[in-house]
Amino acid sequence: MKKDINYFKNKTIFITATNTDVGKTYACEKFLNYFSKNGLKVGYFKPCETGVKDFPLDGSKMLDLTKKLNPSFNVTIKDVVPYQFSLPAAPYVAKCKTIIDFEFLIKQKEYLQSFCDVLIIEGAGGLMVPIQDNIFIIDLIKIFKSEAILITPSKLGCINDTLLSIEALKSRNINFDFFINLYEDKNSFDEVSKPFLIDYFGELNFLQDL
């Protein structure tokens, strides 16, 4: 991370991605540990989790970690993952007839912030995953007045996915950094994708370096 650690105090960081299964929960784990290691009290929020069977797997795993790193984060899984849907699909589809209350989510975010210095918010899928008719995950970043960290994959096609997602974030005037998750096609990444990315951006951030 390039910024001084104190820059992140009293902020919310929204972890988003170019698509699903890119590593948002893994990124949340890395950043929770990173901020805690650097002296900040951490918190976690996942407004909506789909594909929930008995309990939200991602949200529960991150809540357990957060409480271990910050014992004063004395909240429940319903506080952390207020909307839980069984269908593994975009929230717009998975919610069926449920109406997602964005004012409630804002208040929930503010409540969770009272227990920590920096709140990590995990999105669902990629930036343009729909929540309501005309509200997408990227809009949730603005609603929460958050900064964003975009997680991009190392697989073939990541150049296109990364540039399109960055254009979307810029079009909404969202402050962001992006990190590459070296997990798929990582053995060919240096030859296939890195040459352009390093020439275009000059410097790259990797989750594995946190």
125 annotated as a binding-site residue: yes
Q: Is 107 assigned a catalytic role?
A: no
Bin 108: left if φ > 0, else alpha if -120 < ψ < 50, else beta: alpha
Do the annotations mark residue 43 as ligand-binding? no
Measured distance CA(148)–CA(13) in Å, rounded: 6
Q: How many CB atoms lie within 10 A of CB 112?
A: 21
Q: Is 21 known as a binding-site position?
A: yes
How far apart are alpha carbons 70 and 68 in whole angstroms? 6
Give yes or no for a contact between 67 and 73, defined as CB atoms under 8 angstroms apart.
yes
Q: Which of 26, 21, 1 is nearest to 11 (CA)?
A: 1
Residue 185 marked as a ligand binder:
no
30 is in an annotated binding site: no
**Residue 202 marked ligand-binding:** no
Instruction: Report CA 125 to chain centroid distance, whole Å.
Output: 9
Choose the catalytic residue: 3, 9, 11, 46.
Answer: 46
Answer yes or no: is 50 a known binding residue: yes
Is 26 annotated to bind ligand?
yes
Give binding residues as ranges: 21-26, 50, 58, 122-125, 208
Binding site for substrate: which residues? 50
Binding residues for Mg(2+): 25, 58, 122
Residue ranges at the known binding site for ATP: 21-26, 58, 122-125, 208
Please identify every residue annotated as catalytic.
46
